Structure 1
Amino acid sequence: MERTRVLSSLWIFLCCFNFHAVKGAQPNILFIVADDFGWNDVGFHNPGMLTPNIDKLAYGGIILNHSYVEPLCTPSRHAFMTGIYPYKSGMQHLVILPEQPYCSPLNLTFLPQKLKQLGYATHMIGKWHLGMCKWECTPTYRGFDTFLGYYQGQEDYYNKTVLGGLDFRDGKDVVRGDMTYSPITYATRADHLISKHNKSQPMFLYLPFQSVHEPIQVPEKYEDLYPNVKTEGRRKYSGMVSAMDEAIGNITESLKRNGMFNNTIIIFTADNGGWPTFYGNNYPLRGGKTTVYEGGTRASAFIYGAGLKRTGYTYDGLVHAVDWNPTLVAAAGGQPDVGIDGINLWEEIRSGLESKRTEFVYHIDEVLTLFEGHEAIRVGDYKLIQGYPGPYPGWYKPDEVTADQTIDYRPANYLRSYQKDNSSIDIGAELFNIKDDPYEHNNLAREQPALVKKMQGILDEYRKHLVPAMHPPNDKKGNPANFGGVWTPGWC
């Protein structure tokens, strides 16, 4: 009898021990980025978009209603990986062009490097766009165990070329002959990684889709899902969104099939707003990609899965791209780096608490071009814009705009003076109360000059940390003609 009681107690202890071990296990992390993805391009914002897999995760998790990114691709990805504002690293101006000899600074610690220190297997599938002129700039040198994808900012979805060169790698190896539509290729690779993964080790999978950046390409069956969309480009773009959604559904099914789904955190975010010229849509937000209006910087985003204490609601706290680094490190059981710009919001997001973030820099770019030379900050409910806001100053409904209607390079109502040598431009400030006026219709700058001055002072303090933008001229040493028609590192 005594032996039975001892064995029974031991069994209860082991069951409890195992339960707590599983309960406290480090979560897998799936970090999905959609490229040039508009606020109005997802079902949980727009019922006309067919995204059932994304919507199911969003509604079952936490929709992030005020999640912000940079207005362009490279700066946002730098922020995701480092937790540091791009303007503090010289990464603020436009994007890295294929023949430009620079990359995200090598002295900075990337998110996968932090997670590897915590025991994670780290994988990347998709678009890099953080520099590739030397091998040390590329994913497998910056913390990823494996990489399948491309280095540059855009490529053909089928033949994997961009600007006359093949740009597709498995690790360091060139992949030739893959003509599969890229979301399908990426979902297949994700399923392979998940199926072969050692389940005793936590996994980090960074999945920055090529979708839905131009070129506008999609198999006809996805375009056919939108017979009522009038504009061919918008119809194809919408099909691209649904193709990406199907890939995400296939990946979540793989997680379930392999017993990993219940212990996985899934993050979904755009890298910037939709690009009106290429049929992305942010309505009713103002503006689009490249602008510091909300349409260029307020991302469609959600978080789902393991560790969330409260789900099925919309979180209205502020979140910025720089916050994902420390937040995910904390969710993985680690200590975020000290001195970065990102704030650990893990407890606030998962519990529905007030965000610790009360202000942030939208963007600072000191270089004057047709697209840039602007800065913006958020302090509480208020947003201040200085400089040229960007070439998409309006509100664009889907199916009702063309490229000629959307681009406005120097809107006269902003311009006060413009020197002949283009060396100096003085554009009036814009002030918005984003809580009361989320669509930025009412410029309060003239009504509240004292607040403008106060926020300009705050922006001046941020600007003291600016590192001049790295944007060197193209170097023909990087041309793929020098490497057998392949975009290849090792020339800078």
Structure 2
Amino acid sequence: MPVTGCDPMVFLFLLSIGPLSGADGPPHLVFILADDLGWNDVGFHGSEIRTPHLDELSASGVRLENYYVQPLCTPSRNQLMTGRYQIHTGMQHQIIWPCQPYCVPLDETLLPQLMRRAGYRTHMVGKWHLGMFQEACLPTRRGFDSFFGYLMGSEDYYSHVRCYPVTSERDRCALDLRDGEEVATGYQGRYSTELFTEKVVNIIYKHDPKKPAFLYVALQAVHAPLQVPERYVAPYAFIQDPQRRLYAGMVSAMDEAVGNITAALRDTGLWNNTVLVFSTAQEDVREDVREDMREDVREDVREDMREDVREDVRTAALLPQGLRISPTCLPPRPGPCSPLGPDPAPPSARTLVPPRPGPLLPPRDPCSPLGPNLPPSSARTPAPPSARTPAPPSGPLLPPRPGPLLPPRDPCSPLGPDPCSPLGPDPAPPSGPLLPPRDPCSPLRTPAPPSARTPAPPSGPLLPPRDPCSPLGPDPCSPLGPDPCSPGIELTDSFAIHHKLQTDNGGQPLFGGSNWPLRGRKASLWEGGVRGVAFVAGPLLRRPGTVSRELVHISDWLPTAVGLAGGQLNGTQPLDGFDVWKTIRDEGLPWTQRVSGDQRQSTQAFNVSVHAAIRFSNWKLLTGYPGCDVWFPRPGCDVWFPRPGCDVWFPRPGGSNATSTSAAPLKSVMLFDVDADPEERSEVSDLNPSVVEFLLRRLEHHQSASRPIVFPDNDPRCDPGPAGAWGPWA
């Protein structure tokens, strides 16, 4: 059974009480979803990309440091809208493709429908991607009073056109932009991030403050193709990688959009009674390749395609009293770590596709088993190296910094200056273990003891104590700002390992994103694919400026939002999500006080060839093929021409590691203590057989309750015609 995950989403959950007029009432709820935003792509995680608006909002709220989503788009958005695991809706596949005749099951009650029943005005702007083959699937038929945006997974940022093979022999390029249920014309040339922000701001200014509003903003940014006005790119001239530079500009445009939306809320007086959720989502890796490379590469589907099921990570109550998983299924992959990933296109779209000239794959994919570019086929002439993989630079690696965009050379590194610093190469690190130390400036915070990972740091007070409230002064690596000792900050001995504003999957390194130092990328079950950025802010919080270590999952937002709205969950299918508002508001209310988890186990053995992942307490179990298993280097490091400290790390047998483009085979069952090892470097299944057995039986229990996967072939009737627009056809 094929399954797909969803884009990583990052949600900013901002909560406020009464409006400026002082009137009481349910809060306005605003969900902002950013597409494909990586763990290391926000300022408060130490990124070189500037996100001042997100930084300010996260510093004034509660950052959710144990937040999980799906590794791909449709399943994550499905879980957000239904509050249910995708195994319970039949959507445990990849994504919904433009010509597939299905959508979120019509017997599911979606979040906007519940909000409307609670007396809310409901609006959506941006990306739908939950199916549109018939009118009953459209956003305005699923609970939204208004909709402006696009229906499919990706498109051009300026023309709003999407190209897709409607048959094995014919591609079709057509407009995908709707205002309500009508095709929206006249917006060609308008950059989508700015266009969507304008529409959101107009809704805010026109809204009657006496009536509560639910506003869902699903931005196209920062999904491929990499397109952005030059003014956003100019401040990042110091970034050498052209894709990372464009991507950084897109992130800045997205951050500005969040700032403009919140400014409108403040200006209208709605802010003080608003719950704002910001989340980043990630699209299927094949969507990236098709949109940015214009290359339609498809693999024939094996006979066992519909028998390959993957369960995905589930968080929010993964403590001994409550287990939560999110199953996702993938069809067979064309090859380990291929940048195209598992091919979800239906068979009718995968055969007889004529080859196109040019490079098959984007350049320099460290996960490709064939190296940076695929060899030519009999029908292809590869592009010359100059068109695919740039030669290593000569002379200084980077021009001088144009301004104070970058921090000084990593003064917090126990090895001294940052070897990946754009200020120039540094001496090789001292001898010792191959793995670089965990960066103490990393959002993962507390590093492992030096004896457990690297040689002792140089003598002298290179680093202040990890205690930000030490007499020696605050921690300069703190993402919370210069004064982390303010009364609102709560610090614990444990450190967060899953942080998402809210994401539905991780970043895509092939197109500028970064999940460093987490393992893997979008479309994988590693932490880099399912761990996101999340925070909640607003006057309803009793302890703003704190960091929550409680487990939260994307499916929790439906019951949480309905609870805040004072609505009812009557008529919904059995929910998998929990109302986590008290946990967020009170910061630390144990799940064991509120959740009595289903502890049933199956007596049958779980098929470990199934692609699955489950998180329980501090343990994470992986079975089957989890996806690309590389630790991508931090931004500024070149994958194929690395400098000291900039290696791409591949797992090796026995716990050792090597810098190589050929990773060792993965085990069919892997166990990690993600509290102690968030980077998933130490596989410990042999040391904990009882934990492995327990989690395998839990997986089998959930697998036995899953619904059959719905993943139909392309319907050629989807063809919009030479001058038409994408939309319902059935």
**Shorter-chain TM-score category?**
0.7 to 0.9
- Structure 2 residue 309 is matched with structure 1 residue 300: no
Contact 1:394-1:406 at 8 Å conserved across structures = yes
* Residue equivalent to 1:320: 553
* Residue equivalent to 2:624: 387
- Structure 2 residue 423 is matched with structure 1 residue 183: no
Contact 1:104-1:131 at 8 Å conserved across structures = yes
- Structure 1 distance, partners of 2:129, 2:156, is 15
Contact 1:32-1:206 at 8 Å conserved across structures = yes
Q: 1:228 to 1:26 in 2, by over 3 A?
A: same
- Structure 2 distance, partners of 1:407, 1:174, is 47
Matching residue within 235, 239, 246 for 2:249: 239
In the TM superposition, 1:70-219 aligns within 5 A as 70-163=70-163, 164-178=173-187, 179-219=189-229
Matched letter for residue 352 of structure 1: E
Q: Secondary structure at the match of 2:727?
A: coil
- Structure 2 distance, partners of 1:218, 1:403, is 27
Once the two structures are TM-superposed, the CA of residue 82 in structure 1 deviates from its matched residue by: 0.4
CA displacement, residues 2-52 of structure 1 (integer Å, 9 cap, x when unaligned): xxxxxxxxxxxxxxxx99994641100110111111000111112412111
- Structure 2 distance, partners of 1:359, 1:232, is 48
* Residue equivalent to 1:485: 724
- Structure 1 distance, partners of 2:94, 2:640, is 20
* Residue equivalent to 1:342: 577
- Structure 2 residue 202 is matched with structure 1 residue 223: no
- Structure 1 distance, partners of 2:649, 2:680, is 18
- Structure 2 distance, partners of 1:386, 1:19, is 49
Once the two structures are TM-superposed, the CA of residue 247 in structure 1 deviates from its matched residue by: 0.8
- Structure 1 distance, partners of 2:73, 2:699, is 23
Matching residue within 694, 698, 702 for 1:454: 694
Once the two structures are TM-superposed, the CA of residue 355 in structure 1 deviates from its matched residue by: 4.9
Contact 1:123-1:204 at 8 Å conserved across structures = yes
Once the two structures are TM-superposed, the CA of residue 259 in structure 1 deviates from its matched residue by: 0.7
Q: 1:411 to 1:155 in 2, by over 3 A?
A: same
Matching residue within 453, 464, 468 for 2:704: 464
Moved more, 147-156 or 389-398: 389-398
- Structure 2 distance, partners of 1:157, 1:392, is 31
Matched letter for residue 386 of structure 1: T
Matched letter for residue 228 of structure 2: V
Q: Secondary structure at the match of 1:32?
A: strand
- Structure 1 distance, partners of 2:648, 2:258, is 31
Matched letter for residue 378 of structure 1: R
Q: Secondary structure at the match of 1:204?
A: strand
Q: 1:20 to 1:187 in 2, by over 3 A?
A: closer
* Residue equivalent to 2:682: 442
Once the two structures are TM-superposed, the CA of residue 453 in structure 1 deviates from its matched residue by: 0.9
For structure 1, list consecutive stretches of 5 or more residues without a partner in the other structure: 1-17, 361-367, 416-426
Q: Secondary structure at the match of 2:152?
A: coil
CA displacement, residues 291-345 of structure 1 (integer Å, 9 cap, x when unaligned): 0111111111111225222211111110001101001111112234572000111
- Structure 2 distance, partners of 1:210, 1:255, is 21
Higher helix share: 1
* Residue equivalent to 1:281: 514
Give the TM-score, by structure 1 length: 0.87
Matched letter for residue 664 of structure 2: N
* Residue equivalent to 1:331: 564
State the identity %. Answer: 43
Q: 1:220 to 1:447 in 2, by over 3 A?
A: same
- Of structures 1 and 2, the one with the larger relative CO (CA 8 A, separation 6+) is 2
* Residue equivalent to 2:265: 255
Q: Secondary structure at the match of 1:267?
A: strand
Q: 1:186 to 1:21 in 2, by over 3 A?
A: closer
Q: 1:106 to 1:22 in 2, by over 3 A?
A: farther
Contact 1:345-1:355 at 8 Å conserved across structures = no
* Residue equivalent to 2:586: 351
- Structure 1 distance, partners of 2:20, 2:158, is 46
Q: Secondary structure at the match of 1:224?
A: helix
* Residue equivalent to 2:394: none
Matched letter for residue 174 of structure 1: V
- Structure 1 distance, partners of 2:590, 2:83, is 17
Q: 1:243 to 1:19 in 2, by over 3 A?
A: closer
Contact 2:632-2:649 at 8 Å conserved across structures = no
Q: Secondary structure at the match of 1:185?
A: helix
Once the two structures are TM-superposed, the CA of residue 240 in structure 1 deviates from its matched residue by: 0.2
* Residue equivalent to 1:375: 612
Q: Secondary structure at the match of 1:115?
A: helix
Once the two structures are TM-superposed, the CA of residue 414 in structure 1 deviates from its matched residue by: 3.7
- Structure 2 distance, partners of 1:359, 1:55, is 35
- Structure 2 distance, partners of 1:184, 1:20, is 28
Moved more, 172-181 or 298-307: 298-307
CA displacement, residues 436-479 of structure 1 (integer Å, 9 cap, x when unaligned): 01111111112212211111011111111211222111111112
Q: Secondary structure at the match of 2:132?
A: coil
Q: Secondary structure at the match of 1:78?
A: helix
Once the two structures are TM-superposed, the CA of residue 256 in structure 1 deviates from its matched residue by: 0.9
Matching residue within 410, 413, 438 for 2:664: 413
- Structure 2 distance, partners of 1:19, 1:40, is 35
Matched letter for residue 119 of structure 1: G
CA displacement, residues 336-395 of structure 1 (integer Å, 9 cap, x when unaligned): 4572000111111111133527989xxxxxxx9xxx951111010100011100135333
Contact 1:392-1:406 at 8 Å conserved across structures = no
Q: 1:449 to 1:23 in 2, by over 3 A?
A: farther
Matched letter for residue 169 of structure 1: R
- Structure 2 distance, partners of 1:55, 1:359, is 35
Contact 1:234-1:279 at 8 Å conserved across structures = yes
Give the TM-score, by structure 2 length: 0.59
Matched letter for residue 282 of structure 1: N
Q: 1:440 to 1:42 in 2, by over 3 A?
A: same
Moved more, 468-477 or 163-172: 468-477
Q: 1:434 to 1:147 in 2, by over 3 A?
A: same
Once the two structures are TM-superposed, the CA of residue 396 in structure 1 deviates from its matched residue by: 3.2
Contact 2:140-2:147 at 8 Å conserved across structures = yes
Q: 1:19 to 1:284 in 2, by over 3 A?
A: closer
- Structure 2 distance, partners of 1:323, 1:202, is 21
Q: Secondary structure at the match of 1:63?
A: strand
CA RMSD after TM alignment: 2.5
Aligned length: 451
Q: Secondary structure at the match of 1:218?
A: coil
